[in-house]
Structure 1
Amino acid sequence: MQRPSPRRIQGPGLFLAQFLGDEAPFDTLPNIARWAASLGYRGIQVPTLGTQCLDLARAAESQTYCDELKGQCAEAGVEISELSTHLQGQLVAVHPAFDGLFDDFAPAALRGRPRARTEWAIEQLKLAARASQRLGLRAHATFSGALLWPYVYPWPQRPQGLVEEGFAELARRWRPILDAFDEAGVDLCFEIHPGEDLHDGASFERFLEAVDDHPRANILYDPSHLLLQQLDYLGFIDRYHGRIRMFHVKDAEFRPDARSGVYGGYQGWAERAGRFRSLGDGQIDFGQIFSKLTQYGFDGWAVLEWECCLKDGAQGAAEGAPFIERHLIQPATRAFDDFAGTAASPERNRRLLGLDDPGR
């Protein structure tokens, strides 16, 4: 029996953030789009800090400009899968302990002015909502920022109400942004990531409750960050698939020893027990991930985010597109046992169950 065409994962896609540079082909959007297409990518996820790839404010206001951007990408052989405001999202909520580290993400005039920096970041997200709408995109990638990260380990004992107050403030800052994305018809997807207040399922649930289950509060699923925390990254899909709207295909491995484990002992990435790897070099079971996402009808992009402490990015990018391509699943349009199917009717079903037998 023929079924309606099911939804399927799109790809391969490539997140550009780790590859942008000053020299060709990494210096402009048309150049890096052609480079990505030459490696077999069909989509590119575009960071929006600065103007190297696009002017976010202009994209929010000008349909002509957005059509030009889409045309440049189409001519190169790719399409924009999503925009990213990871770095601006980080600045929506910054604990004072991290001001000096995160100030570099903001325009120079805002450095040392945390309140103005936060207002700028919130406006950046609202611009991204409108730009995504004009580009015809369905989802957007970001970070939540963090007010509570210095208190992630409960020693010394956290004062009563501290966590609740932190999430209440995080929700207060993000709700207007979520409303802007709702108005634009775009899902806002928080990458679940250490260093963010939304770093696992429990913290995402706290946030979701604080924003009254806002329909645009969704998840960018990246299994590498879950593995390094020793979460069940496959069970995570079963539990949160209704909120997963984006997917970073990134590998990792966790090999604890007698010296260090999850926390890493302040070591560099190559020496840590948990470290990111290029696709296929780590421990992530991508066969099961693509199967589960297909089972639940995920039809967003499978986007490579390359991060590896051992392998060069050029090699990782070249290997990434065919790796994702091999894992894409064309969902079944027929049941495998349709050849043995038989006609049915309510009367026949009752007979088969023995329900019309007067003796029963």
Structure 2
Amino acid sequence: MPTTIKGPAIFLAQFAGDAAPFDTLPGITRWAADLGYRGVQIPANDARLFDLDTAAQSQDYCDEIKGTCAEAGVEITELSTHIQGQLVAVNPAYDTLFDGFAPAAVHGDPKARTAWAVDQVKKAATASRRLGLKTAVTFSGSLAFPYLYPWPQRPAGLIEEAFAELGRRWRPILDHYEEEGVDLAYEIHPGEDIFDGATWEMFLDAVGGHARAKILYDPSHYVLQCLDYLAFIDLYKDRIAAFHVKDAEFNPDGRQGVYSGYQPWVERAGRFRSLGDGQVDFGAIFARLSAAGFDSWAVMEWECCLKSPEQGAREGAPFIASKIIEVTGKAFDDFAGSGVDREAIRKMLGVA
């Protein structure tokens, strides 16, 4: 049944900082509300805004967090564990880089780092339940992504074993989300083992089609892969539980294509842009999601390579608001209805 999408909302991760108003939850939520946002997606790894460990243990703390947001004029859309989810599965090639995502106590110890990440993602389920949220968002992590391009030739079974292991790691986490009554939406994202529809299906098979495994839909990552982001909605609409509104553009030329030649973001053929500055057809996306019955939040994520975050945030709220469809409760041609009853219908069909 068609639904009206909630919004506008904003993901706070790219805006949190050490200076006011971005260094506290009261400050950053008031800032967001003043720009016209009605919801905030909170990064559960940022202690300046949110204490995940406390939230998983204390209903009073969660009530306080909700009250802070309500006082500012916004709701919490979801908790994000993108950083922690990334560390649930890390190929050794990325160990040094991803150690920076974890506490110093587990640096250089992949097993301890993974255990910490799993515990964090599970705590987000409990905290989400305490906050009255129905969905949390995350990354899957990656074991196979360094082998994305099939050269040198991949040994038989490598990809299958990577996804089997991914399933073994995530299945107990998803079971915990089931116990807490919360869905877990994975952002389909290059760099993760789940980066398109095919890999999503492989992951879903690996976790036994788990009912709590959902999708965070972000069309910007599909533009950069030359993937049909509208057809993706048709294929997986029953699993889409969260939505990042982020723009992108892909401009290949004689020098660059999808891989963009190791260039910095501003010089890449594929790059992220602020809302309305890229190539994503958001009018079509909002229509497709509304028709599919998506009833959650449209959350702006800012990652533009050109425009400042302040300008992107200012422009984002009215942009999203202009795309939200207030779903009608009646058919446009109701005025012309004949009002015939079943007996008249049967006469019309010649079966009276």
TM-score (norm 1): 0.96
Q: Deviations over 1:293-340 (max 9, x none)?
A: 100110110000001001111000000000000001110100001111
Where in structure 1 do 4 or more consecutive aligned residues deviate above 6 Å?
none
Displacement of 1:345 in angstroms is 3.2
- Supply the distance in 2 between the matched residues of 1:48 and 1:327 (Cα, whole angstroms): 28
Which residue of structure 2 lines up, in the alignment, with residue 63 of structure 1? 59
Q: Please say if 1:242 is aligned against 2:224.
A: no
Q: Is the CA contact 2:218–2:243 (under 8 Å) kept in the aligned structure 1?
A: yes
Displacement of 1:157 in angstroms is 1.3
- Supply the distance in 2 between the matched residues of 1:253 and 1:7 (Cα, whole angstroms): 29
Q: Please say if 1:115 is aligned against 2:119.
A: no
Q: Please say if 1:206 is aligned against 2:188.
A: no
Q: Please say if 1:42 is aligned against 2:38.
A: yes
Q: Please say if 1:325 is aligned against 2:344.
A: no
Secondary structure at 1:241 match in 2: helix
Displacement of 1:354 in angstroms is 2.5
Displacement of 1:6 in angstroms is 5.7
- Supply the distance in 1 between the matched residues of 2:61 and 2:112 (Cα, whole angstroms): 28
Q: Please say if 1:79 is aligned against 2:95.
A: no
Which residue of structure 2 lines up, in the alignment, with residue 228 of structure 1? 224
- Supply the distance in 2 between the matched residues of 1:79 and 1:296 (Cα, whole angstroms): 24
Q: Is the CA contact 1:255–1:274 (under 8 Å) kept in the aligned structure 2?
A: yes
In structure 1, give the amino acid aligned to 2:297: W
- Supply the distance in 1 between the matched residues of 2:281 and 2:150 (Cα, whole angstroms): 32
Secondary structure at 2:100 match in 1: helix
- Supply the distance in 1 between the matched residues of 2:46 and 2:339 (Cα, whole angstroms): 62
Structure 1: tracts of 5 or more residues without a match: none
Q: Deviations over 1:17-45 (max 9, x none)?
A: 00011000110111000000010000000
Structure 2: tracts of 5 or more residues without a match: none
Which residue of structure 2 lines up, in the alignment, with residue 163 of structure 1? 159
Aligned counterpart in structure 1 of residue 301 of structure 2, from 288, 296, 305: 305
Secondary structure at 2:241 match in 1: strand
Across the aligned residues of Structure 1 and Structure 2, the Cα RMSD in angstroms comes to 1.0
- Supply the distance in 2 between the matched residues of 1:27 and 1:82 (Cα, whole angstroms): 19
Q: Is the CA contact 2:3–2:291 (under 8 Å) kept in the aligned structure 1?
A: no
In structure 1, give the amino acid aligned to 2:227: L
Q: Deviations over 1:203-237 (max 9, x none)?
A: 00001011111001000000000110000000000
- Supply the distance in 2 between the matched residues of 1:94 and 1:272 (Cα, whole angstroms): 26
- Supply the distance in 2 between the matched residues of 1:98 and 1:260 (Cα, whole angstroms): 25
Displacement of 1:355 in angstroms is 3.2
Q: Is the CA contact 1:187–1:217 (under 8 Å) kept in the aligned structure 2?
A: yes
Secondary structure at 2:238 match in 1: coil
Q: Is the CA contact 1:6–1:333 (under 8 Å) kept in the aligned structure 2?
A: no
Displacement of 1:50 in angstroms is 3.9
Aligned counterpart in structure 2 of residue 349 of structure 1, from 336, 345, 348: 345
Q: Once the two structures are aligned, what percentage of the paired residues are identical?
A: 66
Secondary structure at 1:242 match in 2: helix
Q: Please say if 1:216 is aligned against 2:216.
A: no
Q: Please say if 1:193 is aligned against 2:179.
A: no
In structure 2, give the amino acid aligned to 1:33: T
Displacement of 1:51 in angstroms is 1.3
Q: Deviations over 1:178-227 (max 9, x none)?
A: 01111111110000000000000000000101111100100000000011
